[in-house]
């Protein structure tokens, strides 16, 4: 009688083991940080989408849930051609993968805890990204992203981790009260953890969201930070900081969009908004590291990555703002960052 040999099965991946853990035990304060961050950003995604949906109940968000072959996936919530937003996207993304040696060497520049003697490393990344492009040119575009990254050994034990993120406001027409309110809300969140955070991360934001070929900033700023790890503060402190920053978003933006969304405007103001949207596209496609990282990740979901782009934009040859106009004023501010609070 012929007896077939025993079939050896592959050990479950870290993503598989995490899925089993979540199903059997849920996510608690004792769970690995990667699972806690995933649960947190999904909770905030639901909260933000619900709040935005209340502004325009007649145009429902399209919600797509997707998965990655190597593990993880995401949820993309997008509204297009609504009454309030031309395009609004609120996405979560969970990625499991393997870093090759060149990527490991590059990351070790900022994270010495990464083992330098391995040819590959398992990694996990989780993030919540949001971009809202309003219909009304008096209402500002807003961007938000908070993320967590860790490297792991084959057993799923974390050996290096860091947080990154921020939020920034991009008006076509400047209302000082809007910029002041937005910056005050994020400053209050920062000050709860370190009074040096807001000025440090505000300056970082001004430098990051800069369009060199235009010699102007993308907008009026906010905060930006990256690579915050154990050399900054411990993991629980930084997770608490990220949670407070994310919690400050709706109080920081909803009052602004509420008072601007129904203001009257003329066609020339809409055309100016389209020109400013063009600048937004230029930054995101040419200079944004997040867009580049996403598009270069194997099995990337391109539609979710490019969610940040506006539905419409415009480029005019040799366009110049009229002297003394509101258009000239916003350009002046974009050339020289302002301390709003």
Best CA proximity match to 37, nearest among 111, 110, 124: 124
Distance of CA 66 to the CA centre of its chain: 18
Long-range contacts of the stretch 274-277 (C-beta < 8 A, 24+): 274/312, 274/313, 274/314, 275/314, 275/315, 275/316, 275/319, 276/170, 276/172, 276/330, 277/133, 277/141, 277/310, 277/312, 277/313, 277/314
With contact defined as beta carbons under 8 Å apart, do 223 and 201 qualify?
yes
- Residue 100 CB contacts under 8 Å (≥ 6 apart), including other chains: 119, 120
Cα–Cα distance, 178 to 173 (Å, whole number): 11
Q: Which of 111, 133, 143, 181 is catalytic?
A: 143
Cα–Cα distance, 154 to 173 (Å, whole number): 51
Cα–Cα distance, 43 to 21 (Å, whole number): 19
H or E segment to which residue 245 belongs: helix 235-247
Tell me whether residue 181 is one of the annotated catalytic residues.
Answer: no
With contact defined as beta carbons under 8 Å apart, do 172 and 276 qualify?
yes
Cα–Cα distance, 90 to 64 (Å, whole number): 11
Cα–Cα distance, 257 to 54 (Å, whole number): 12
Which amino acids are annotated catalytic? 143
């Amino acid at each position: 009688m012929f007896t077939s040999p025993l079939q050896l099965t592959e050990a479950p991946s870290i993503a598989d083991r995490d899925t089993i853990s979540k199903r059997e035990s849920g996510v608690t304060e004792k769970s690995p940080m990667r699972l806690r961050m995933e649960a947190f950003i999904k909770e905030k995604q639901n909260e933000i989408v619900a709040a935005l949906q209340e502004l325009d109940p007649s145009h429902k968000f399209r919600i797509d849930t997707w998965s990655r072959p190597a593990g993880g996936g995401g949820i993309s919530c997008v509204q297009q051609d609504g009454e309030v937003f031309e395009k609004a996207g609120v996405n979560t993304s969970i990625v499991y993968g393997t870093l090759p040696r060149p990527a490991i060497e590059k990351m070790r520049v900022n994270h010495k805890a990464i083992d330098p003697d391995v040819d590959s490393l398992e990694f996990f990344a989780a993030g919540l990204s949001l971009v809202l492009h309003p219909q009304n040119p008096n209402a500002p575009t807003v961007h938000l992203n908070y993320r967590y990254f860790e490297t792991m050994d084959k057993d799923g034990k974390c050996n290096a981790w860091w947080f990154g993120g921020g939020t920034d406001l991009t008006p076509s027409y400047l209302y000082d009260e809007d910029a002041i309110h937005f910056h005050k809300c994020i400053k209050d969140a920062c000050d709860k953890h370190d009074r040096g955070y807001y000025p440090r991360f505000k300056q970082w934001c001004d430098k990051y969201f800069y369009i060199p070929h235009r010699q102007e900033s993308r907008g009026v700023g906010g905060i930006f930070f990256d690579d915050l790890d154990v050399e900054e503060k411990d993991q629980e402190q930084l997770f608490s900081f990220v949670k407070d920053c994310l919690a400050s978003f709706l109080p920081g933006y909803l009052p602004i969009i509420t008072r601007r969304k129904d203001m009257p405007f003329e066609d020339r103001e809409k055309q100016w908004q389209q020109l400013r949207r063009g600048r937004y596209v230029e930054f995101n496609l040419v200079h944004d590291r997040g867009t580049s990282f996403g598009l270069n990740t194997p099995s990337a979901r391109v539609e979710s990555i490019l969610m940040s782009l506006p539905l419409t934009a415009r480029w005019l040859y040799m366009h110049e703002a009229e002297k003394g106009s509101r258009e000239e004023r916003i350009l002046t501010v974009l050339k020289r960052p302002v301390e709003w609070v």
